[in-house]
A and B are shown apart, each in its own frame.
Chain A
Amino acid sequence: MKKNSIYILMFVLAALLASCNPTPTIDSSMLDSGTISYALPDSLNKHLLSSYLPNPTPTQLNTPVIICAHGYTATTFEWDEFRSYANAKGTFYVSQVLLGGHGRSYADFKKATWEDWQSAITWEYKNLSDLGFKKIYLAGSSTGAPLIINMVKSRFFDQYTSPKGIFLIDPIVVSSNKTITLIGLLGPVLGYSTVELANGEKGHWYVYRPQETLKQLMALIDLTRRDLEDGITLPTGTYMKVYKSEKDETADPISAFMIYKGMKTSDGGKIDVELENSKLHVFTRLKGRDGVTTADTDLQQKVFAEMEAKMKQ
Protein backbone atom coordinates (compact mmCIF):
# COMPACT_ATOMS: atom_id res chain seq x y z
CA MET A 1 0.00 0.00 0.00
CA LYS A 2 2.84 2.33 0.91
CA LYS A 3 4.61 1.46 -2.35
CA ASN A 4 1.45 2.29 -4.30
CA SER A 5 1.22 5.67 -2.59
CA ILE A 6 4.81 6.44 -3.52
CA TYR A 7 4.17 5.46 -7.15
CA ILE A 8 1.07 7.68 -7.27
CA LEU A 9 3.02 10.58 -5.78
CA MET A 10 5.84 10.08 -8.29
CA PHE A 11 3.33 9.98 -11.14
CA VAL A 12 1.69 13.22 -9.99
CA LEU A 13 5.08 14.95 -9.65
CA ALA A 14 6.15 13.70 -13.09
CA ALA A 15 2.89 14.94 -14.61
CA LEU A 16 3.41 18.32 -12.98
CA LEU A 17 6.98 18.57 -14.24
CA ALA A 18 5.94 17.45 -17.72
CA SER A 19 3.33 20.19 -17.78
CA CYS A 20 6.04 22.80 -17.13
CA ASN A 21 6.97 24.24 -20.51
CA PRO A 22 8.96 27.41 -20.00
CA THR A 23 9.65 27.98 -23.71
CA PRO A 24 6.67 28.45 -26.00
CA THR A 25 6.76 27.95 -29.75
CA ILE A 26 7.24 31.37 -31.32
CA ASP A 27 6.97 32.17 -35.00
CA SER A 28 8.25 35.24 -36.80
CA SER A 29 4.79 36.77 -37.19
CA MET A 30 4.57 37.22 -33.42
CA LEU A 31 5.82 40.23 -31.52
CA ASP A 32 7.40 37.69 -29.14
CA SER A 33 9.89 36.67 -31.86
CA GLY A 34 11.76 39.96 -31.72
CA THR A 35 11.57 40.12 -35.54
CA ILE A 36 9.02 42.87 -35.14
CA SER A 37 10.49 45.42 -32.76
CA TYR A 38 8.97 48.60 -31.44
CA ALA A 39 12.25 49.34 -29.66
CA LEU A 40 14.28 50.18 -32.78
CA PRO A 41 15.57 53.79 -32.85
CA ASP A 42 13.33 54.69 -35.80
CA SER A 43 10.24 53.55 -33.95
CA LEU A 44 11.21 55.24 -30.68
CA ASN A 45 12.11 58.48 -32.47
CA LYS A 46 8.73 58.49 -34.19
CA HIS A 47 6.78 57.98 -30.98
CA LEU A 48 8.65 60.02 -28.34
CA LEU A 49 8.15 63.77 -28.42
CA SER A 50 11.56 64.41 -26.87
CA SER A 51 13.05 62.62 -29.90
CA TYR A 52 10.94 64.04 -32.71
CA LEU A 53 10.92 67.56 -31.27
CA PRO A 54 14.32 67.90 -29.59
CA ASN A 55 14.57 71.69 -29.98
CA PRO A 56 11.12 73.08 -29.18
CA THR A 57 10.29 76.73 -29.74
CA PRO A 58 8.76 78.88 -26.96
CA THR A 59 5.33 78.40 -28.57
CA GLN A 60 5.77 74.66 -28.65
CA LEU A 61 6.87 74.64 -25.00
CA ASN A 62 3.54 76.23 -24.10
CA THR A 63 1.56 73.64 -26.05
CA PRO A 64 0.16 70.82 -23.90
CA VAL A 65 1.91 67.49 -24.25
CA ILE A 66 0.54 64.19 -23.02
CA ILE A 67 2.72 61.18 -22.31
CA CYS A 68 0.74 58.03 -23.06
CA ALA A 69 1.68 54.76 -21.39
CA HIS A 70 0.24 51.50 -22.69
CA GLY A 71 -0.64 48.35 -20.82
CA TYR A 72 0.97 45.03 -19.97
CA THR A 73 2.05 43.05 -23.11
CA ALA A 74 0.95 45.92 -25.38
CA THR A 75 2.94 48.46 -27.38
CA THR A 76 2.66 52.09 -28.44
CA PHE A 77 0.06 50.79 -30.91
CA GLU A 78 -2.46 51.10 -28.07
CA TRP A 79 -2.31 54.91 -28.28
CA ASP A 80 -1.96 55.31 -32.08
CA GLU A 81 -5.55 56.50 -32.50
CA PHE A 82 -5.10 59.21 -29.89
CA ARG A 83 -1.92 60.30 -31.68
CA SER A 84 -3.88 60.51 -34.94
CA TYR A 85 -6.59 62.50 -33.14
CA ALA A 86 -3.96 64.92 -31.78
CA ASN A 87 -2.34 65.30 -35.19
CA ALA A 88 -5.72 66.13 -36.73
CA LYS A 89 -6.58 68.69 -34.04
CA GLY A 90 -3.13 70.26 -33.71
CA THR A 91 -3.84 71.55 -30.21
CA PHE A 92 -1.57 69.21 -28.22
CA TYR A 93 1.29 66.78 -28.65
CA VAL A 94 1.29 63.07 -27.87
CA SER A 95 4.38 61.24 -26.71
CA GLN A 96 3.89 57.47 -26.86
CA VAL A 97 6.27 55.65 -24.53
CA LEU A 98 7.16 52.03 -25.08
CA LEU A 99 7.30 50.42 -21.65
CA GLY A 100 10.61 48.80 -20.73
CA GLY A 101 10.77 45.13 -21.75
CA HIS A 102 7.84 45.58 -24.13
CA GLY A 103 7.75 45.59 -27.94
CA ARG A 104 10.88 43.45 -28.02
CA SER A 105 11.52 39.71 -27.86
CA TYR A 106 9.94 37.20 -25.49
CA ALA A 107 13.34 36.84 -23.77
CA ASP A 108 13.62 40.60 -23.18
CA PHE A 109 10.07 40.71 -21.88
CA LYS A 110 10.65 37.77 -19.55
CA LYS A 111 13.55 39.37 -17.72
CA ALA A 112 12.08 42.87 -17.27
CA THR A 113 10.73 44.03 -13.91
CA TRP A 114 7.82 46.43 -13.43
CA GLU A 115 10.37 49.08 -12.51
CA ASP A 116 11.91 48.51 -15.97
CA TRP A 117 8.45 48.95 -17.51
CA GLN A 118 8.04 52.22 -15.61
CA SER A 119 11.51 53.58 -16.46
CA ALA A 120 10.36 54.48 -19.99
CA ILE A 121 7.70 56.82 -18.59
CA THR A 122 10.01 58.50 -16.07
CA TRP A 123 12.72 58.86 -18.74
CA GLU A 124 10.39 60.69 -21.15
CA TYR A 125 8.83 62.81 -18.39
CA LYS A 126 12.29 63.92 -17.26
CA ASN A 127 13.27 64.75 -20.85
CA LEU A 128 10.16 66.85 -21.48
CA SER A 129 10.48 68.63 -18.15
CA ASP A 130 14.17 69.36 -18.83
CA LEU A 131 13.34 70.63 -22.33
CA GLY A 132 11.02 73.14 -20.66
CA PHE A 133 7.53 71.91 -21.57
CA LYS A 134 5.18 73.68 -19.18
CA LYS A 135 1.95 71.75 -19.63
CA ILE A 136 2.73 68.06 -19.24
CA TYR A 137 -0.09 65.54 -18.90
CA LEU A 138 -0.02 61.78 -18.45
CA ALA A 139 -2.35 59.09 -19.70
CA GLY A 140 -2.11 55.48 -18.66
CA SER A 141 -4.15 52.61 -20.00
CA SER A 142 -4.50 49.39 -18.05
CA THR A 143 -1.08 48.65 -16.46
CA GLY A 144 0.12 52.10 -17.53
CA ALA A 145 -2.18 53.41 -14.78
CA PRO A 146 -0.59 51.75 -11.72
CA LEU A 147 2.83 52.67 -13.11
CA ILE A 148 1.78 56.35 -13.10
CA ILE A 149 0.08 56.07 -9.70
CA ASN A 150 3.35 54.70 -8.35
CA MET A 151 5.18 57.76 -9.73
CA VAL A 152 2.79 59.96 -7.72
CA LYS A 153 3.19 57.83 -4.60
CA SER A 154 6.99 57.85 -4.84
CA ARG A 155 6.93 61.66 -5.22
CA PHE A 156 8.76 61.43 -8.55
CA PHE A 157 7.26 64.74 -9.67
CA ASP A 158 8.81 66.69 -6.79
CA GLN A 159 11.99 67.03 -8.88
CA TYR A 160 10.27 68.10 -12.10
CA THR A 161 7.50 70.27 -13.51
CA SER A 162 4.29 69.00 -11.87
CA PRO A 163 1.91 67.32 -14.29
CA LYS A 164 -1.17 69.38 -15.11
CA GLY A 165 -3.36 66.31 -15.28
CA ILE A 166 -3.48 62.53 -15.30
CA PHE A 167 -6.00 60.45 -17.25
CA LEU A 168 -6.39 56.76 -16.50
CA ILE A 169 -8.19 54.52 -19.00
CA ASP A 170 -9.38 51.16 -17.66
CA PRO A 171 -6.75 51.12 -14.92
CA ILE A 172 -5.87 47.81 -13.34
CA VAL A 173 -5.52 47.52 -9.59
CA VAL A 174 -7.40 44.25 -9.40
CA SER A 175 -7.28 41.73 -12.22
CA SER A 176 -10.58 40.29 -13.41
CA ASN A 177 -8.89 36.91 -13.64
CA LYS A 178 -8.32 36.12 -9.98
CA THR A 179 -6.05 33.17 -10.76
CA ILE A 180 -3.24 35.70 -10.98
CA THR A 181 -3.40 36.01 -7.18
CA LEU A 182 -1.96 32.47 -7.08
CA ILE A 183 0.82 33.16 -9.57
CA GLY A 184 3.47 32.77 -6.87
CA LEU A 185 2.31 29.19 -6.33
CA LEU A 186 1.24 28.21 -9.83
CA GLY A 187 3.83 30.19 -11.80
CA PRO A 188 6.59 27.56 -12.00
CA VAL A 189 4.06 24.95 -13.16
CA LEU A 190 2.37 27.36 -15.55
CA GLY A 191 5.57 28.58 -17.24
CA TYR A 192 3.62 31.06 -19.32
CA SER A 193 0.08 31.80 -20.36
CA THR A 194 -1.24 32.37 -23.87
CA VAL A 195 -3.71 34.94 -25.19
CA GLU A 196 -5.80 34.84 -28.33
CA LEU A 197 -5.29 37.92 -30.47
CA ALA A 198 -7.57 39.25 -33.19
CA ASN A 199 -5.98 39.37 -36.63
CA GLY A 200 -5.57 43.14 -36.36
CA GLU A 201 -3.78 42.82 -33.04
CA LYS A 202 -1.16 40.32 -34.15
CA GLY A 203 2.34 41.69 -34.06
CA HIS A 204 1.35 44.47 -31.64
CA TRP A 205 0.82 42.45 -28.45
CA TYR A 206 2.75 39.58 -26.95
CA VAL A 207 1.00 36.26 -27.43
CA TYR A 208 2.84 34.63 -24.53
CA ARG A 209 2.96 35.92 -20.99
CA PRO A 210 5.90 34.47 -19.06
CA GLN A 211 5.02 33.68 -15.46
CA GLU A 212 7.89 35.94 -14.37
CA THR A 213 6.09 38.91 -15.92
CA LEU A 214 2.76 37.87 -14.42
CA LYS A 215 4.51 37.90 -11.02
CA GLN A 216 5.77 41.41 -11.79
CA LEU A 217 2.27 42.50 -12.72
CA MET A 218 0.86 41.01 -9.53
CA ALA A 219 3.58 42.69 -7.46
CA LEU A 220 2.79 46.06 -9.08
CA ILE A 221 -0.97 45.94 -8.67
CA ASP A 222 -0.74 44.56 -5.14
CA LEU A 223 1.63 47.39 -4.18
CA THR A 224 -0.70 49.91 -5.82
CA ARG A 225 -3.71 48.54 -3.94
CA ARG A 226 -1.88 48.80 -0.61
CA ASP A 227 -0.63 52.31 -1.43
CA LEU A 228 -4.20 53.35 -2.26
CA GLU A 229 -5.40 51.94 1.06
CA ASP A 230 -2.90 54.20 2.81
CA GLY A 231 -3.91 57.14 0.62
CA ILE A 232 -2.05 58.98 -2.15
CA THR A 233 -2.11 62.73 -2.67
CA LEU A 234 -1.66 64.28 -6.09
CA PRO A 235 0.90 67.07 -6.62
CA THR A 236 -0.39 70.61 -6.16
CA GLY A 237 -2.60 71.61 -9.07
CA THR A 238 -2.68 68.18 -10.69
CA TYR A 239 -6.05 66.99 -11.99
CA MET A 240 -6.99 63.31 -12.27
CA LYS A 241 -9.77 61.53 -14.08
CA VAL A 242 -10.44 57.81 -14.36
CA TYR A 243 -12.47 56.35 -17.22
CA LYS A 244 -13.52 52.75 -16.61
CA SER A 245 -15.61 50.24 -18.55
CA GLU A 246 -18.39 48.84 -16.39
CA LYS A 247 -17.69 45.34 -17.70
CA ASP A 248 -14.10 44.37 -18.21
CA GLU A 249 -12.68 40.87 -18.34
CA THR A 250 -9.10 42.12 -17.88
CA ALA A 251 -9.06 44.97 -15.34
CA ASP A 252 -11.76 44.47 -12.76
CA PRO A 253 -14.00 47.57 -12.56
CA ILE A 254 -13.54 47.53 -8.77
CA SER A 255 -10.13 49.04 -9.61
CA ALA A 256 -11.84 52.36 -10.35
CA PHE A 257 -13.51 52.36 -6.93
CA MET A 258 -10.21 51.62 -5.21
CA ILE A 259 -8.54 54.52 -7.02
CA TYR A 260 -11.48 56.80 -6.20
CA LYS A 261 -11.15 55.94 -2.51
CA GLY A 262 -7.36 56.09 -2.42
CA MET A 263 -6.42 59.14 -4.51
CA LYS A 264 -6.93 62.69 -3.30
CA THR A 265 -6.20 66.04 -4.88
CA SER A 266 -3.65 68.24 -3.12
CA ASP A 267 -6.46 70.09 -1.31
CA GLY A 268 -8.05 66.84 -0.11
CA GLY A 269 -10.76 66.68 -2.79
CA LYS A 270 -12.04 63.68 -4.69
CA ILE A 271 -10.78 62.77 -8.13
CA ASP A 272 -13.17 62.38 -11.08
CA VAL A 273 -14.32 58.91 -12.11
CA GLU A 274 -16.59 58.07 -15.02
CA LEU A 275 -17.93 54.57 -15.49
CA GLU A 276 -18.58 53.80 -19.13
CA ASN A 277 -21.20 51.55 -20.65
CA SER A 278 -18.65 49.38 -22.40
CA LYS A 279 -17.37 45.82 -22.27
CA LEU A 280 -14.03 46.62 -23.89
CA HIS A 281 -10.76 46.69 -22.01
CA VAL A 282 -9.00 49.95 -22.95
CA PHE A 283 -12.07 51.15 -24.82
CA THR A 284 -10.07 54.04 -26.33
CA ARG A 285 -8.21 51.57 -28.55
CA LEU A 286 -10.44 50.27 -31.32
CA LYS A 287 -7.90 49.69 -34.07
CA GLY A 288 -7.31 45.99 -34.65
CA ARG A 289 -10.40 44.87 -32.75
CA ASP A 290 -13.14 42.71 -34.22
CA GLY A 291 -16.77 43.79 -33.99
CA VAL A 292 -16.35 47.48 -33.18
CA THR A 293 -19.74 49.23 -32.94
CA THR A 294 -20.80 52.82 -33.54
CA ALA A 295 -21.29 53.17 -29.79
CA ASP A 296 -17.66 52.12 -29.25
CA THR A 297 -16.45 54.75 -31.72
CA ASP A 298 -18.68 57.45 -30.21
CA LEU A 299 -17.36 56.68 -26.73
CA GLN A 300 -13.76 56.77 -27.91
CA GLN A 301 -14.23 60.13 -29.63
CA LYS A 302 -16.13 61.56 -26.65
CA VAL A 303 -13.31 60.71 -24.27
CA PHE A 304 -10.62 61.98 -26.65
CA ALA A 305 -12.54 65.27 -26.95
CA GLU A 306 -12.87 65.54 -23.17
CA MET A 307 -9.15 64.98 -22.68
CA GLU A 308 -8.38 67.57 -25.35
CA ALA A 309 -10.78 70.08 -23.77
CA LYS A 310 -9.17 69.61 -20.37
CA MET A 311 -5.71 70.18 -21.83
CA LYS A 312 -6.87 73.36 -23.57
CA GLN A 313 -8.11 74.90 -20.31
Chain B
Amino acid sequence: MKKTHLFFVVFLFFTPFPKAQNVDNYELGVGLRFQKTEQLYWENGVGADFTSDFLLHKKIHLKLSYATSRIGSAFLSNAIRQDNYVIGADWRFRSTKDFQIFAGLNTGFFHADMETAQFNVLPHNSMLFSLETGLFYKFKFPLATSLSIGYNLINGDGLTVPGSLFPVFYQLSVFYYIGKK
Protein backbone atom coordinates (compact mmCIF):
# COMPACT_ATOMS: atom_id res chain seq x y z
CA MET B 1 0.00 0.00 0.00
CA LYS B 2 2.80 2.44 0.90
CA LYS B 3 4.54 1.75 -2.42
CA THR B 4 1.34 2.58 -4.25
CA HIS B 5 1.06 5.88 -2.38
CA LEU B 6 4.64 6.77 -3.22
CA PHE B 7 4.30 5.87 -6.87
CA PHE B 8 1.13 7.89 -7.17
CA VAL B 9 2.66 10.99 -5.58
CA VAL B 10 5.81 10.82 -7.67
CA PHE B 11 3.97 10.16 -10.91
CA LEU B 12 1.28 12.72 -10.48
CA PHE B 13 3.04 15.60 -8.83
CA PHE B 14 6.44 15.61 -10.43
CA THR B 15 5.85 14.42 -13.98
CA PRO B 16 3.75 17.32 -15.28
CA PHE B 17 5.83 20.16 -13.86
CA PRO B 18 8.92 20.01 -16.11
CA LYS B 19 6.64 20.08 -19.12
CA ALA B 20 4.72 22.98 -17.67
CA GLN B 21 7.85 25.00 -17.12
CA ASN B 22 8.90 24.54 -20.75
CA VAL B 23 5.81 26.01 -22.30
CA ASP B 24 4.93 29.65 -22.70
CA ASN B 25 1.31 29.57 -21.80
CA TYR B 26 -0.01 27.19 -19.23
CA GLU B 27 -2.50 27.15 -16.41
CA LEU B 28 -2.07 25.17 -13.23
CA GLY B 29 -4.85 25.17 -10.71
CA VAL B 30 -4.72 23.58 -7.30
CA GLY B 31 -7.55 23.37 -4.88
CA LEU B 32 -10.13 21.48 -2.93
CA ARG B 33 -12.42 18.70 -4.04
CA PHE B 34 -15.70 17.72 -2.42
CA GLN B 35 -17.21 14.46 -3.57
CA LYS B 36 -20.56 12.90 -2.70
CA THR B 37 -21.28 9.39 -3.85
CA GLU B 38 -24.93 8.62 -4.57
CA GLN B 39 -26.36 6.74 -1.56
CA LEU B 40 -22.96 6.65 0.14
CA TYR B 41 -20.26 8.90 1.52
CA TRP B 42 -18.83 12.36 1.38
CA GLU B 43 -15.20 12.03 0.35
CA ASN B 44 -13.16 15.23 0.30
CA GLY B 45 -9.62 16.10 -0.61
CA VAL B 46 -7.37 18.02 -2.94
CA GLY B 47 -6.98 18.25 -6.68
CA ALA B 48 -5.01 19.89 -9.44
CA ASP B 49 -5.85 20.88 -12.99
CA PHE B 50 -3.29 21.55 -15.70
CA THR B 51 -3.54 22.71 -19.27
CA SER B 52 -1.36 24.40 -21.83
CA ASP B 53 -1.32 25.48 -25.45
CA PHE B 54 0.40 22.26 -26.39
CA LEU B 55 -2.69 20.39 -25.18
CA LEU B 56 -4.70 21.34 -28.27
CA HIS B 57 -4.82 24.99 -27.24
CA LYS B 58 -6.12 24.21 -23.80
CA LYS B 59 -8.96 22.06 -25.00
CA ILE B 60 -7.47 19.17 -23.03
CA HIS B 61 -7.02 19.45 -19.27
CA LEU B 62 -5.04 16.96 -17.22
CA LYS B 63 -6.08 16.51 -13.64
CA LEU B 64 -5.30 14.61 -10.52
CA SER B 65 -7.01 14.35 -7.19
CA TYR B 66 -7.06 12.61 -3.88
CA ALA B 67 -10.37 12.30 -2.06
CA THR B 68 -11.01 10.40 1.14
CA SER B 69 -13.87 9.70 3.49
CA ARG B 70 -11.38 10.30 6.34
CA ILE B 71 -12.13 14.01 6.02
CA GLY B 72 -15.69 13.33 4.96
CA SER B 73 -18.26 10.85 6.18
CA ALA B 74 -15.75 8.80 8.20
CA PHE B 75 -14.62 11.81 10.22
CA LEU B 76 -15.88 11.10 13.76
CA SER B 77 -18.23 8.36 12.55
CA ASN B 78 -18.24 4.62 11.84
CA ALA B 79 -18.20 5.09 8.06
CA ILE B 80 -15.53 3.11 6.22
CA ARG B 81 -12.25 4.96 5.75
CA GLN B 82 -11.52 4.87 2.05
CA ASP B 83 -9.26 6.67 -0.40
CA ASN B 84 -9.55 7.57 -4.08
CA TYR B 85 -6.38 8.43 -6.06
CA VAL B 86 -7.42 9.71 -9.46
CA ILE B 87 -5.76 10.96 -12.64
CA GLY B 88 -7.74 12.01 -15.65
CA ALA B 89 -8.14 14.07 -18.76
CA ASP B 90 -11.01 16.30 -19.84
CA TRP B 91 -12.05 17.77 -23.12
CA ARG B 92 -13.20 21.36 -22.71
CA PHE B 93 -15.92 22.79 -24.87
CA ARG B 94 -15.90 26.62 -25.07
CA SER B 95 -12.31 26.48 -23.81
CA THR B 96 -11.69 30.19 -24.43
CA LYS B 97 -14.76 31.23 -22.45
CA ASP B 98 -15.17 31.74 -18.72
CA PHE B 99 -18.03 29.27 -18.65
CA GLN B 100 -16.98 25.88 -20.01
CA ILE B 101 -18.45 22.41 -20.35
CA PHE B 102 -16.24 19.38 -19.98
CA ALA B 103 -16.29 15.63 -20.40
CA GLY B 104 -13.51 13.24 -19.61
CA LEU B 105 -12.08 9.95 -18.46
CA ASN B 106 -10.51 9.17 -15.11
CA THR B 107 -8.56 6.27 -13.78
CA GLY B 108 -6.76 5.57 -10.55
CA PHE B 109 -6.74 3.50 -7.43
CA PHE B 110 -9.31 2.86 -4.70
CA HIS B 111 -8.55 1.54 -1.24
CA ALA B 112 -10.88 0.77 1.65
CA ASP B 113 -9.36 0.34 5.11
CA MET B 114 -10.63 -2.96 6.55
CA GLU B 115 -8.98 -2.16 9.91
CA THR B 116 -8.74 -5.78 11.13
CA ALA B 117 -7.20 -8.86 9.57
CA GLN B 118 -10.52 -10.66 9.75
CA PHE B 119 -12.02 -8.45 7.05
CA ASN B 120 -8.97 -8.33 4.81
CA VAL B 121 -10.32 -11.39 3.00
CA LEU B 122 -12.96 -9.08 1.52
CA PRO B 123 -12.01 -7.12 -1.61
CA HIS B 124 -10.71 -3.72 -0.53
CA ASN B 125 -8.47 -2.49 -3.38
CA SER B 126 -9.53 -1.71 -6.91
CA MET B 127 -8.58 0.11 -10.04
CA LEU B 128 -10.79 3.10 -10.75
CA PHE B 129 -12.16 3.88 -14.18
CA SER B 130 -14.83 6.51 -14.57
CA LEU B 131 -16.56 8.85 -16.98
CA GLU B 132 -17.18 12.40 -15.86
CA THR B 133 -18.92 15.45 -17.23
CA GLY B 134 -19.69 18.84 -15.80
CA LEU B 135 -19.53 22.59 -15.83
CA PHE B 136 -16.52 24.81 -15.17
CA TYR B 137 -16.54 28.50 -14.41
CA LYS B 138 -13.48 30.72 -14.38
CA PHE B 139 -13.78 33.83 -12.24
CA LYS B 140 -12.00 37.09 -13.14
CA PHE B 141 -9.52 36.64 -10.30
CA PRO B 142 -7.47 33.43 -10.26
CA LEU B 143 -10.21 31.21 -8.98
CA ALA B 144 -12.33 28.68 -10.78
CA THR B 145 -14.95 26.17 -9.79
CA SER B 146 -16.42 23.07 -11.36
CA LEU B 147 -19.44 20.94 -10.71
CA SER B 148 -19.59 17.49 -12.22
CA ILE B 149 -21.23 14.09 -12.22
CA GLY B 150 -19.31 10.87 -12.75
CA TYR B 151 -19.91 7.18 -13.20
CA ASN B 152 -17.53 4.51 -11.93
CA LEU B 153 -17.52 1.79 -14.58
CA ILE B 154 -15.87 -0.52 -12.05
CA ASN B 155 -18.02 -0.79 -8.95
CA GLY B 156 -18.68 -3.25 -6.14
CA ASP B 157 -20.25 -6.56 -7.13
CA GLY B 158 -20.11 -8.64 -3.96
CA LEU B 159 -17.38 -10.83 -5.42
CA THR B 160 -14.14 -9.14 -6.47
CA VAL B 161 -14.60 -5.37 -6.25
CA PRO B 162 -14.84 -3.50 -2.92
CA GLY B 163 -18.45 -3.19 -1.84
CA SER B 164 -18.13 0.47 -0.89
CA LEU B 165 -17.14 1.48 -4.43
CA PHE B 166 -20.44 2.83 -5.76
CA PRO B 167 -21.19 3.92 -9.34
CA VAL B 168 -22.45 7.51 -9.33
CA PHE B 169 -20.66 10.44 -7.74
CA TYR B 170 -20.93 14.22 -7.78
CA GLN B 171 -17.99 16.58 -7.38
CA LEU B 172 -17.54 20.21 -6.54
CA SER B 173 -14.03 21.57 -7.02
CA VAL B 174 -12.55 24.97 -6.30
CA PHE B 175 -9.19 25.79 -7.91
CA TYR B 176 -6.72 28.59 -7.31
CA TYR B 177 -4.49 29.21 -10.32
CA ILE B 178 -0.92 29.57 -9.21
CA GLY B 179 0.87 29.26 -12.53
CA LYS B 180 -1.23 31.19 -14.92
CA LYS B 181 0.66 33.06 -17.69
Question: CB within 8 Å of B: which residues of A?
Answer: 174, 176-179, 181-182, 218, 222, 225, 228-231, 246-258, 260-262, 273, 275
Contacts and interface: CB of A to CB of B under 8 A. Distances in A.
Contact of B158 (A230, A249, A262): A249
A254 B164 contact: yes
Given A181-B167, A275-B118, A275-B119, A257 B39 contact: no
A279 to B, nearest CB: 8
Nearest to B122: A253
21 contacts: A174-B163, A177-B157, A178-B156, A178-B167, A179-B167, A181-B166, A181-B167, A182-B167, A229-B77, A229-B78, A229-B79, A231-B77, A247-B159, A249-B157, A249-B158, A252-B157, A254-B112, A254-B122, A257-B114, A258-B78, A275-B122
B116 to A, nearest CB: 8
A231 B78 contact: yes
B38 interface: yes
Specify the main secondary structure of chain A where it touches its partner: helix
B155 interface: yes
Interface residues of B, number: 26
A289 B77 CA distance: 39
Given A261-B80, A273-B118, A275-B122, A247 B158 contact: yes
Interface string B152-174: 00011111001110111000000
B121 interface: yes
B154 to A, nearest CB: 11
Interface in B94-126: 112, 114-115, 118-119, 121-122
Interface of B: 38-40, 73, 77-80, 112, 114-115, 118-119, 121-122, 155-159, 162-164, 166-168
Contacts of A253: 122, 158, 163
B119 A178 contact: no
Given A174-B156, A254-B164, A246 B38 contact: no
Contacts of A229: 73, 77-79
Contacts of A255: 163
A181 B118 contact: no
A181 B78 contact: no
Nearest to B160: A247
A254 B166 contact: no
B156 A176 contact: yes
Given A178-B166, A181-B167, A252-B163, A258 B122 contact: no
Contact of B38 (A182, A225, A254): A182
Contacts of B158: 176-177, 247-253
Given A181-B167, A249-B158, A254-B162, 12 more contacts: A174-B164, A176-B159, A176-B163, A181-B40, A229-B79, A231-B77, A247-B158, A247-B159, A249-B157, A249-B159, A252-B157, A275-B121
Nearest to A251: B158
A215 to B, nearest CB: 12
A251 B156 CA distance: 11
Contacts of A179: 167
B78 A257 contact: no
Contacts of A250: 158
A183 to B, nearest CB: 9
Nearest to B79: A229
